[in-house]
Amino acid sequence: MQRKPLIAGNWKMHTTIDEAESLAISIMESGLPGDRDVMLAPPFTAMKAVSQAVAGSGILLGAQNVCWEEKGAFTGEISPIMLKDAGCTMAIIGHSERRHIFGESDALVNKRVAGALKFGLVPVLCIGEKLEEREADKTFQVLEDQLRKGLEGISQEGADNIVIAYEPVWAIGTGKTATVDQAQEVHLFVRSLLADIYEKNIATGIRILYGGSVNPKNVDDLMGQEDIDGALVGGAALDSTSFSRIINFKVT
């Protein structure tokens, strides 16, 4: 099965509304190949402005998090209905910064995934190991635990609408990156695990992204791997020239 590549830019806690709008327009005007998807995840305050700026371009709009409820007494959260109203179609869930800085558990991540699906958003479920876990040869154990718990109760139909992002915590914002072989090994493991949780044809269709210091210099090699279907990009997504080069990766 041919999986359409997805290049996603996570802007994290960066950009004012004007800055976000300008960045989105620069990315849009740099040229977007038709054989791959591009998603931008600006801060919530800039989401509507970015949505309007890229309207008609084919760029997808993603959120950096999402609550599982439509509305209610959830101070500081944002509902899937609010996100969809702003033009959002995807949501990053379980990012390592949410897990390790804000203490989000696998159970909470699972609630967010289920909530996103319930209201028609595509979850981008993030999983990844810390450096000490990799050094202790616990990478696969950690990833299996996060993936099984994150997808608990999610049906095969729901799984058809999920994106997985593997982001080794030790490679996020550090300038370090997993080697191509390391990344492919993990992506193959994740796909095999998805086949065990669901079935092979479901696993074959799920896009698995690599995240962790993706940049213009390493994207071609990463995207040349059989089980790497895209990239979740942080720092390099804040520069339109760098992000455009990543979007326009070339597999030789």
Distance separating the N- and C-terminal Cα atoms of the chain? 20
Q: Name the maximum alpha-carbon separation found in the chain.
A: 52
| Rounded-to-integer distance, Cα 122 and Cα 119, Å | 9
* Catalytic, out of 21, 97, 104, 167: 167
Residue among 21, 95, 129, 187 flagged as catalytic: 95
Element (H or E) spanning 118, and its range? helix 106-118
Residue 187 a catalytic site member: no
Task: Determine the Cα–Cα distance for residues 113 and 107; give it in Å rounded to an integer.
Answer: 10
The three-state secondary structure class of 44 is: helix
Residue 126, class by beta-carbon neighbours within 10 Å (0-12 exposed, 13-18 middle, 19+ buried)? buried
Closest CA to 58 of 82, 24, 86, 13: 24
**Cα 85 to Cα 88: distance, rounded to the nearest angstrom:** 7
Measure the CA–CA gap between 119 and 195, rounded to whole angstroms: 25
What letter represents residue 39's amino acid? Answer: M
Q: How far apart are CA 240 and CA 233, in angstroms?
A: 12
The dihedral of CA 151, 3, 124, 99: what is its sign? positive
Give the C-alpha separation, 60 to 185, whole Å: 29
Beta bridge partners of 91: 63, 123
* Known active-site residue 199: no
Active site residues: 95, 167
